[in-house]
Structure 1
Amino acid sequence: MLSQKTIKISSYILIVLIIGLVLFYTRFEAISWNDRSRFATINALVTNHNFIIEHVYFTTGDKVFINGHFYSDKPPLFSVLAAVPFFFLHLVGFNFSHNPALLTYITAVLVMFLPLCGFFWLLYYWCKHNLKKLEDKFLLLDVLFLAAGTALLPFTTQLNNHLPTAILLGVAVLIFYYRPVWRSSSLVLMGACLGLATTFDLSAGFVLALFGLLLLVNLYKEDFGLNKKIKSIFIFGAVALIPIFIHCLVNIQITGDVWPGSMHPEFFNYPSSQFTDANLTGAGFAVSSFWDWLKYLWLLTFGERGFFLHNPVILLGFILTIINLKKVVNKNWWYNLFVLISTIVIILYYSLFGKGGGGGAYSVRWFIVFIPLFFPIILQWLEDGVWRRKLLYFLAIITLIINIFAMGNILGGANHGKTYSFINMLRAFPGYTVEQVKNWSIVIGK
């Protein structure tokens, strides 16, 4: 097996590689409509003190028209929090009109990469103090391979809501797994993370509901009185509802009800709009028959855009959750059931209502949110057997190579900032023209 010196050198190489990839490939400009829509809201909040995105530096097609004004169609609370770094930079004289590249880059690093680093530090810290069977000399390397070996890494390079949602869900499950669930501090932190995650990405609401059931089961098994159990559930639920309540209040100010603009097809009805019920996620079914659904499901999971194809480490975690359900019913068993159902529910929802395969984003952006749920399961699995660690490292290295292609985007600016499927990008090597490559985006239904 690897010597202590080799492990240490490998860890340093991975740390430098991860930081280098992120800092080198983080975008200096917001190119995609998704990206520009969020930056437009950040710009409007700090400079104009409202959500109207008409008189700002960024233009975008991801917008809704309400009462004579344009607004971003994204859930607003994430943009509010992402505006904090720009607010302080704006105070000292920076603005998007004069420093667009610098501010876009700094915002992405502060809002995407630094929180992800914090999450993996927490993962390392909690595992070090709770997974006693894991050898200390391997633990840092194990966590680094999880950091480099999933699609979380490419999503650090530009502003998006999926990565922060994944981080918040990851923190919540770490607290559940490695701290007594009945402690008030644990309940507050779990509720805050899950509630805030739901405001960032509405699909996290499924996870919040299922996590509430998981918490109920675990509190039921605790050896203390009914009043304390009721109090614990109340604390968790009340804290989770605070960010959701704020989210609803902000939405009411913009759309007139609790739903963000993306959930209102009628607000996309303006002359230059590129969106209709046919291509809006959530506005009706994405498929027209059971056979079409099976083909679309395959595309999203194992096909050309396949999430598990691009994340073999998470495929391993998914298989482990199923295997673990054959074991003794305990806290771990219930957690595995929670992860399995959460994953299946999110995949089913987007395979039925998510249109366009997630657009031009790398792999399937909708599924990024549940990646951290598998980390405790994978790390516990490593406690027994040297071959398990070898398998994890092998799969992580494969994924890291895929991630380098995704982050490096070998097509350069030819695809207008979009990273299509890794498989599509490989096709550039045999000598296809740039115009051919640009037309390789996935079009559902063809």
Structure 2
Amino acid sequence: MHIYKKIESFLTKKTLIIALVFSALIIQPKVISWNESSRMATVQSMVEHKSLIIDDTSFIETGDKVYINGHFYSDKPFFASFLGAIIYAPLYWLGIKLTADFNLAYYLITLFTVKLFYFFGLLAFYEILERIKINQNHRYWMVFSLAFASLFFPWATTFNNHLLAASFLIIGLKYLLNSREGPTIKLIILSGMFFSMAGAVDLPMIIFYLGFYIYILTIPELRKFSFFYIVPSFFTILPTFIIFYQVSESFLPLTANIDAFIYPETPWVGKKFEELTGRGINKGWFLINYSFHSLLGTNGFILYNPLLFLAIPNLIKEIKQRKPFWREGIVIGAGTLIVTLFYLLSSTNYSGNSYSIRWFVPFLPMLFIFLYPIFDDSKKILFYRLLILSILISAVGTFAPWSNIEDIHKIPFLANIIEMSNLLEFIINFSTN
């Protein structure tokens, strides 16, 4: 018990801030995955060619693209790339250009989008915790656990929509909770804006946007402001679907246009084609096996975020015992369950070359709120034990969020460990020659 008291007292506001400042420097300096390449292609094309067509970009080799009406487009929703383009525009004007190799432009785009909202998300998380009567030091540990002991950290080092969605959701929740203390149009609009931005960058997260709209309708003092919650979606979610229609003459996401993945030299052939999410519905033993490994097995999201073993049961208790966040817990729990089931039923590839299941990263800040009761019972020691394990898992993931599970090892954790050992061996050999 004595050692845990020492650990607990180590973290102060000062040491937490120092750790967060240091973390700002940790960003992957190169586009690695198809996913990043696809988004950077749109960023580059928006700024350099004033177009969504990615034919003449440095990232045209990405496999995450569709071929429609004689041109290639990213198969991703465009809102995250739009945010990236806002940062890239002045960089391009200054002569700092995107390339497919190590480059400053990608680093700065990631820093001022994903990493910046990583910090804003942590700040919103802390402000939500201020509503709870717990020791201030325990609040710092909860922020630390989200910041460095979960997959929230590895995915803050690379340009992706999942971290953005995670931050937008927790910021939207903060404003919604603030509105309950004295509802104002401004707070409701801000809440709707961030929840809708989460849906715009990561379409399945629209379920949380809708869930919290229903939440507003069930609370009399908020209900009369419900229209203002919807207004921001006209500038976030609606344009996303309008762009889908302009590109493909369908309001469905571009990934739903399966034929658009078939073009000369397409990588989406044979088994790879079957990996496209939404190709069918999983059933029987495959569904059971895939669900297990997605949550608890080789790629298990809960296994890669051990503190969820504490947070999820606490979420259920919060709802059952009608504790302070029981209403929010219903929306968070239901939304998490619906999105999880969607991916378990419609996907087959564990979210591709990814350190665990990146699709579930947006849940983390909201679920981590429910760690707070741990500090009031005997499970506090278990929290610190799992925290140490979680930091290790997060650190391994930070080395390579886009784990090479195709060429190195099918288990992301082991793929990263092998890649780290190979790098260490290279450094040792280089230094001794």
Residue 215 (structure 1) shift: 2.1
User: Which residue matches 1:374?
Assistant: 367
Q: Does 1:282 align with 2:278?
A: yes
CA contact (8 A) 1:165 1:369 kept: yes
Q: 1:200 to 1:5 in 2, by over 3 A?
A: closer
Alignment of 1:197-346 (within 5 A): 197-217=198-218, 219-220=219-220, 222=221, 229=223, 231-275=224-268, 278-285=274-281, 287=282, 289-328=283-322, 332-346=325-339
Mapping of 1:67-82 within 5 angstroms?
A: 67-82=69-84
Task: Describe the shift of the 1:135–1:394 C-alpha distance in structure 2 as closer, same or farther (beyond 3 A).
Answer: same
Deviates more, 1:362-371 or 1:15-24: 15-24
Counterpart amino acid of residue 40 in structure 2: F
Match of 1:441 in 2: none
Distance 1:297 1:376, change over 3 A: same
Q: Tell me by how many angstroms 1:411 deviates.
A: 12
Q: 1:336, 1:190 → 2: CA distance?
A: 17
Residue 86 of structure 1 deviates from its aligned partner by 0.8
**Matching of residues 383-402 of structure 1 within 5 Å:** 384-385=376-377, 387-402=378-393
Cα distance in 2, alignment partners of residues 411 and 107 from structure 1: 18
TM-score (norm 1): 0.84
Partner amino acid, structure 2, of 1:408: F
TM superposition score normalised by structure 2: 0.86
Deviation at 1:430, TM superposition (A): 10
Question: Helix, strand or coil: the match of 1:356?
Answer: coil
> Does the 8 A contact of 1:174 with 1:376 survive in 2?
no
Please tell me the residue identity of whatever aligns with 2:35. N
Letter in 1 for 2:151: A
CA offsets 1:209-233 (integer angstroms, 9 cap, x no match): 222222222x14x4xxxxx73x322
Match of 1:27 in 2: 28
The CA deviation at 1:375 is: 2.9
- The question of whether the paired residues in 2 share the 8 Å contact of 1:206 and 1:342 is answered with yes
Equivalent residue for 1:359, pick from 349, 352, 365: 352
**Residues 83 and 237 of structure 1: is their aligned pair in 2 closer, same or farther, counting only changes over 3 Å?**
same
Match of 2:109 in 1: 107
Amino acid of the residue matched to residue 266 of structure 1? Answer: D
Partner in structure 2 of residue 406 of structure 1: 397
Secondary structure of the residue aligned to 2:394 is helix
* Amino acid of the structure 2 residue aligned with 1:403: S
Question: 2:43–2:85: 8 Å Cα contact kept in structure 1?
Answer: yes
SS at match of 1:362: coil
Match of 2:148 in 1: 148
The CA distance in 1 between the partners of 2:156 and 2:408, in whole Å, is 14
Contact 1:361-1:418 within 8 A present in 2 as well: no
Q: In structure 2, which of residues 399, 413, 418 is the aligned counterpart of residue 422 of structure 1?
A: 413
Matched, 1:157 2:157: yes
Match of 1:96 in 2: 98
**RMSD, aligned α-carbons:** 3.1
Report the residue type matching 2:280 in the other structure.
G
Unaligned 5+ residue runs, structure 1?
A: 223-227, 435-446
Secondary structure at the residue paired with 2:73?
strand
SS at match of 2:251: coil
- Flag the 1:6–1:261 CA change in 2: closer, same or farther, 3 A: closer
Query: Does the CA-based 8 Å contact 1:21-1:407 persist in structure 2?
Result: no
| SS in structure 2 at match of 1:321 | helix
Instruction: Report what 2:429 is aligned to.
Output: none
Distance across 1 between alignment mates of 2:177 and 2:145: 21
CA distance in 2, matches of 1:49, 1:428: 39
- Tell me how far apart the structure 2 counterparts of residues 323 and 423 of structure 1 sit (CA, whole Å): 35
CA shift for structure 1 position 317: 1.2
Q: Is 2:56 the counterpart of 1:62?
A: no
Inter-CA distance 174–64: structure 2 relative to 1 (3 Å threshold): same
- Alpha-carbon displacement from aligned partner over 1:61-107 (angstroms, at most 9, x marks no partner): 11111111111100011101111111111122221259851111111
* Secondary structure of the structure 2 residue equivalent to 1:191: helix
How far is 1:44 from its partner?
0.6
CA distance in 2 between counterparts of 1:81 and 1:66 reads: 24
* Residues 416, 188 of structure 1: alpha-carbon distance in 2 compared, 3 angstrom cutoff: farther
> Can you list the C-alpha shifts for 1:380-432, whole angstroms capped at 9, x where unaligned?
x25634x444433332221111111111249999988999521454577999x
Greater shift, 251-260 or 108-117, is seen at: 251-260
How far apart, in 2, do the equivalents of 1:267 and 1:429 lie? 37
Q: Write the distance in 2 (CA, Å) between the matches of 1:250 and 1:102.
A: 29
Distance 1:316 1:88 in 2: 45
Contact 1:31–1:417 (CA under 8 A) maintained in structure 2:
no
Q: Secondary structure at the match of 1:71?
A: strand
